[in-house]
Structure 1
Amino acid sequence: MRATTAGMLTLVCALCSCKQKEDSTNSYFPLTVGSRWTYAVSSDVDGKALRDSHVISVISESLKGNEPVVVRRNETEGNIGIEYALRVNPTGIERIAQRSDLEEQATRDEPPRTVLPLPLKAGASWRTQTTAYFILRKSEHPRELRYSHKALMTYTVEAIDETVTVPAGTFRHCARITGVAYLTLYTDPVAGFRKVPLITNEWYCKGIGMVKLERIEEVSTAFFSGGKMLMELIKSIRHE
């Protein structure tokens, strides 16, 4: 189950070097090669509490045509690492490909997935595909739904000037983004089919990047159990 944390963290971006240096103190997504973020991860899945740490790092930058592409790597100790390739265009940051350590070639995202719209403004909204990372079948196999069930999540920038406190400190001028999706599941013979919400809350702070992420997938029926995860920044190393 620890691997699901790495699989769900697609919050990454790509900016050219000169733009990163110019905007690093004001950007909600400051990135240069060598930057690194470490997070404490706590989750409750199928009634079991888990604790772990997660690292996101910027490992390379290149140009493909006229577009800058940055690769970010997500790692949880003891699990397979995943790398994400992202590009920036005038309307936003997009994820264009991903590759796990078990794959020689990256898999392209068709179409590319929006990570953040640019410029980031309160009320902005977009949709992208998601799945259930913590909902499990109680008696069938495979227990995970993430391989078979997909849903469209609607993300909305709810605020752009919040204050957030995490283990790494208290940060101001943070954007809060909420994502909501629904999976239609046959939960049990009594309730029949019902829409189960998948909820994500993310906080990005100027000059820091992502400092906090919550994922909530609550369901408890005869056929399914749910879960939730909290991810908070412990420390960051940001290259200018």
Structure 2
Amino acid sequence: MSTSMTMRRALAAPGLLCAVAALLVTAGCGQPPAAAQLFPLEPGRSWVYRTVTELEDNTRDEETITLRTLGKDTLTVEQAAEPGPAWHRHSDGGADYWLRADDTGIYRVASKSELDAEPQPDATRRYVLKAPYTVGTQWQTDTAPYLLMENTNFPRETRHRHPAVPMLFSITAVDTAVEADGRRYTGCTQVQGNGQIRIFSSSVGGWRDVPIVAREWYCPGVGLVRLEREELVGSSGLVFGGKLVMELVEES
């Protein structure tokens, strides 16, 4: 599978955006005002992102990803640790996921890949944003090294061998501005995530800790506007990483 397709499927889910992300609803109720402003999910909304991936092997990929909110589904006890209604988001990369919001924040409760017949429940809440939406608020969630590649293993993607890497997220700025696709957005909330993974880089470099850094901007009435992710190894014969930038180019 190409690096482009791998990133398309991986980053379409939250955490990244995981994520995306990146990438809600109060069970049985409407969205709280803050959540609705920073991560709107009313039915019919869509977001188109341009992603640019630059790897340390000097390859570069550019593509677009479209996310859509399909409406509210009711999840069963088999589909979510906390059954009940949740907003359903779909990515044209083949990923589906379900989100909610309450007084604690905005979080994912289930996801489904192209290979899954039914939604797969998250063991615990996977927060996209955690309340209060003020500087210093922190939370932890697992991520995967989506950009790291290993020349001596198959499949090459390191995430197949390290699917869960703890990452600490924090709100670093509020009421800030950000640019995406030539447009300027104001009143935004900025989030930064930091983690690291220990890998064997080469016979010369030995074992090293590779930092994983994510920066995300959520803007009122729009949602996720920009995401940056870095997994940089430096000089290494066995493993290489890269950086990714995802920008909003269209929303409706």
TM-score (norm 2): 0.84
1:108 to 1:12, Cα distance in 2 relative to 1, 3 A: same
Report the alpha carbon displacement of residue 102 of structure 1 after superposing the two structures with TM: 2.7
Counterpart of 1:72 in structure 2 is 89
Q: Are 2:251 and 1:236 equivalent residues in the alignment?
A: yes
Give structure 1 regions of 4+ aligned residues with deviation exceeding 4 angstroms: 15-18, 63-67
| CA 1:26–1:33: 2 relative to 1, 3 Å | closer
Measure the CA separation in 2 of the matches of 1:165 and 1:236. 15
Equivalent residue number for residue 13 of structure 1:
24
Q: What residue number does 1:97 align with?
A: 110
Alpha-carbon distance between aligned partners in 1 of 2:244 and 2:169, rounded to the nearest angstrom: 18
Distance 1:12 1:117 in 2: 14
- What is the number of residues matched between the two proteins? 232
Question: What is the alpha-carbon distance in structure 2 between the residues aligned to residue 165 and residue 12 of structure 1?
Answer: 18
Aligned pair 1:27/2:37, yes or no?
Answer: yes
| Distance apart, 1:119 and its partner CA | 3.2
TM-score normalized with structure 1 length: 0.88
SS of equivalent to 1:27: helix
CA distance 1:24–1:58, shift in 2 (3 Å): farther
Gaps of 5+ in 2: 15-21, 76-81
Unaligned runs of 5+ in 1: none
Tell me, yes or no, if structure 1 residue 58 matches structure 2 residue 69: yes
Distance 1:19 1:156 in 2: 26
CA distances 1:108-141 after superposition (whole Å, capped 9, x unpaired): 1112211211231111011000111111001221
Note if 1:173 corresponds to 2:173: no
- Matching of residues 31-50 of structure 1 within 5 Å: 31-45=41-55, 46-50=57-61
- Would the aligned equivalents of 1:67 and 1:87 in 2 still touch at CA under 8 Å? no
Report 1 or 2 for greater relative contact order, CA contacts < 8 Å, sequence distance ≥ 6.
1
Q: In 2, Cα distance between the equivalents of 1:230 and 1:184?
A: 24
- Secondary structure of 1:85's counterpart equals strand
Helix, strand or coil at the partner of 2:232: strand
Q: CA deviation at 1:148?
A: 1.4
- Aligned counterparts of 1:34 and 1:162: Cα–Cα separation in 2: 27
Deviation of the 1:201 alpha carbon: 0.5
Structure 1 contact 158–177 (Cα < 8 Å) conserved: yes
